[in-house]
Amino acid sequence: MENIIELHGVSKTLKAFTIDNMNLRIKQGFVTGFIGANGAGKSTTMKLIMNLLQPDNGDVSVFGLDYTSHEKEIKDRIGFVYDSNIFYESLNLKDISKIVAPAYTHWDQNQFKAYVDQFELPLNKPIKKFSKGMQMKASIAMALSHDAELIIMDEPTAGLDPTSRRELLDILQEVMVDGRRTILFSTHITSDLDRIADYIVLMDEGEILFDKPVYELQEQYAIVKGSTELLDADTEAYFIKIERLPNGFQALTKDASKVKEVFDDHVVIEEVSLEEIMFYMKGANHSYD
């Protein structure tokens, strides 16, 4: 199976927010980073993938299965980290693991204890007395302790200190080593993705703007700087968004080689960061995508 998650023509309206006819495919065996501004719809999409929200229209399948008849099997094979505390707050980790363990076919108590030790989490302290970062670590320890084939994490690095963030990214790299697993995770910290992502999905206002391998982004997207005299109706078509500055223009292109061919040495072409791509694509004219 090439795609571990497939969304076909999915629509969902939540009051003022709408996802309309979304198609998304997440490749098996890779790490996909899910990015987009606040309110873009990343959490909503993850909830649709987890069946915590149901689409108004369209289909969601995970492992090639649908939730109508395979909910338990799908959930058994997913490790999910959500951006707010999903545990019973007055319980401690020891009790929670006893409640959670029977729900999973492959729960591994030793693995769980190893993560608890690594994250230096207390087993006997009620979750409500954990800091935000500790709660996130507890969530991560649970998600990684039942041999899940698919790990879905909504902003797992938010609230973690730099050392813990690095530790988590190392763990995620380790769990990917045997090639059996797939990770989808959202983050606002784009440097997380530089370390481990193979694919990037960018979302804006309920819409997937792109879903691309990292190497393709690095090869094709670039920042172009030059004199505004170079711009006219024809040449502007090479850019996704153009900023006109007093001393020239600065623009994002998704076709760096074409820009090089057309403008040659009249422009400067620079590598683009994910943050810059997000900045330029927000509110851009997507007919150029």
Ligand X SMILES: Nc1ncnc2c1ncn2[C@@H]1O[C@H](COP(=O)(O)OP(=O)(O)OP(=O)(O)O)[C@@H](O)[C@H]1O
Nearer to ligand X, 154 or 223 (CB): 154
Nearer to ligand X, 30 or 34 (CB): 34
Phi, psi of 145 (to 5 degrees): -110, 15
Nearer to ligand X, 40 or 160 (CB): 40
Nearer to ligand X, 22 or 93 (CB): 22
Per CB under 6 A, 14 contacts ligand X? yes
Distance CA 240, CA 288 (A): 5
**Residue selected from 40, 148, 169, 202 as contacting ligand X according to rule CB under 6 A:** 40
**Residue selected from 27, 42, 77, 165 as contacting ligand X according to rule CB under 6 A:** 42
Q: Is 16 exposed, middle or buried (0-12, 13-18, 19+ CB in 10 A)?
A: exposed
10 Å Cβ neighbour count for 140?
24
Nearer to ligand X, 5 or 40 (CB): 40
Per CB under 6 A, 41 contacts ligand X? yes
* Residues in binding contact with ligand X, number by CB under 6 A: 11
Helix (H, G, I), strand (E, B) or coil at 106: coil
Per CB under 6 A, 43 contacts ligand X? yes
Stretch that binds ligand X, among 10-18, 61-69, 165-173, 194-202 (CB under 6 A): 10-18
Q: How far is the CB of 277 from ligand X (least distance, A)?
A: 16
First to last CA, the chain: 28
Distance CA 266, CA 269 (A): 10
Nearer to ligand X, 19 or 272 (CB): 19
Residues 20-39 close enough to bind ligand X by CB under 6 A: 36, 38-39
Per CB under 6 A, 277 contacts ligand X? no
Q: Per-residue DSSP letters for 210-268?
A: EEEEHHHHHHH-EEEEE-GGG--TTGGGG-SEEEEETTEEEEEES-HHHHHHHHGGGSE
DSSP letter, residue 15: T
Which residues contribute to the site for ligand X (CB under 6 A)? Answer: 14-15, 17, 36, 38-44
